[in-house]
Amino acid sequence: MTEVTKSPNSPPAISSPSPTGMPLLAAAGIALAFAGLVTSLIVTVVGVILAVTGFTGWFREVLPSEHREVVAVEEPSEEILPERVAVTHLQVGEQGHRARLPLQVHPYSAGIKGGIAGGFVMAALAVVLSIVRHGSPWYIVNLLAAAGMPSLASASTATLAAFSPKAFLVALMIHAVASLLIGLLYGVLLPMLPSNPILLGGIVAPLLWSGLLWASMNVVDPLVNQRLEWRWFALVQIAFGITAGIVVGRTEKIRTLQHLPFALRSGIEAPGLKSEDNQ
C-alpha cells in the first residue's frame, strides 16, 4: 500500500515498493534452463544460475522486510478546479481506439532489401576472412555448403580450399534463403523494438542467434562445429545485422489498417465506389 506522508518541515512524499529487475532475470533463467535441454548443458547451467540469482534477489526484496523508497510529491503550482465538459466517445474502429502496436510498420520490401544488402556484406567479409585465415576464398563457401552436403563436413582442408561448382550453388542457395528470411524478420520486428532498434537488431540479436547456433551445432553437426571459427562467425553476423538494420530502418514506414472499421478492412464496404456506381 502506498502512503502519503506529510510533516510540517518537509514536502509530502509517497512510500512505494522499490523497483527491481529480479523477476525478469528469474524468467530469463528459467527460459535458458529449459532451452539447454535441447541445446547444451552449459546453457542449462547458466539458466539455473540466473534463475537462482533472480529468485534470491526477488525474495530479498520482500523478506524479511519489504524494500520501499520514498518518492517526493510535487504540489501543484496553481489550484485546478473541476469543470463540467461534454465527453466525446470514440466509435468502434476510430483511430486510437483499442489500437494494437505498432501503429506503423515497414513494408515487406524493406526487409527483402535489408536481407539482400546484409547478405552481400556478410558474404564479402566472410570471403575476406577465409582468404586471410585459410588462404582460399572457397574454404568458407564449402563449409557453408556442408550444411546441405554432409560429405564436405569430413573433407580434408585441401578439399575445402578447392573450388566446387556444386558446393558453390548449394552454399549460394543456403545463404540467399537465410538472408532473405532474416531480412523479412528484421522488417517485421524492428518497429516493435524500443529505442535504438539498430543497436538491438544489429548487435544484440546477431550475438543471441550466434550463441544459440553455437550451443546447438555440437548436436546438429559436430564435425562442422569443430571447424567453424565462432568468433569470426559472430563478427560476420553482426555485420549482417547492422547493414540490414540500417537499410530497413531508413525505409519509410506505412500505417497499419487497424484504425479503419472492420467492414472496410474486410472489403465489405468501400467509400466512394457506391456513389460512382449510381452515376
Each residue's pLDDT tens digit, 92-139 = 445 555 556 666 777 888 888 888 898 898 888 888 888 888 888 888
**Does the pLDDT at position 271 exceed 60?**
no
Same domain, 58 and 141: no
Q: What is the pLDDT of residue 258?
A: 61
Residues ≥6 apart with Cβ < 8 Å to 81: none
The pLDDT assigned to 247 comes to 85
| Residue 14: predicted pLDDT | 74
Mean pLDDT of 188-212: 75
CA-CA distance, 201 to 198, in Å (whole number)?
5
243 in the same domain as 111: yes
Query: Looking at the structure, do residues 34 and 113 belong to the same domain, yes or no?
Result: no
Task: Classify residue 2: in a domain, yes or no.
Answer: no
265 confidence band (pLDDT: 50, 70, 90):
low
82 inside domain: no
Domain count for the chain: 2
10-19, 235-244, 259-268: least confidently modelled range: 259-268
The predicted structure's pLDDT at residue 277: 43
**DSSP-H helix ranges across the chain:** 22-35, 41-60, 108-134, 138-145, 157-161, 165-189, 197-199, 205-220, 222-227, 230-249, 262-265, 273-278
In-domain check, residue 18 = yes
Structure confidence by residue, pLDDT tens digits, 18-37? 777 888 888 988 998 898 88
Q: Do both 114 and 248 map to the same domain? A: yes
Together in a domain, 125 and 37: no
- The DSSP secondary-structure symbol of 83 reads -
Q: Are residues 236 and 140 in the same domain?
A: yes
Confidence of residue 276 (pLDDT cuts 50, 70, 90): very low
Q: What domain range is 153 assigned to? A: 104-255
pTM over 0.75: no
Q: Given this model, what pLDDT does residue 30 score?
A: 92
60 with 189, same domain: the answer is no
Q: In this structure, are 126 and 209 located in the same domain?
A: yes
Judge whether residue 158 has pLDDT over 60.
Answer: yes
32 and 170 fall within a common domain: no
Higher pLDDT, 93 or 172: 172
Residue 115 sits in the same domain as residue 173 = yes
pLDDT in tens, 35-70: 888 888 888 898 899 999 989 888 888 777 777 777
Residues above pLDDT 90, as percent of the chain: 4
Nearby residues of 202 by Cβ (< 8 Å), 6 or more positions away? 238, 241, 242, 243, 244, 245, 246
Residue 12: pLDDT over 80:
no
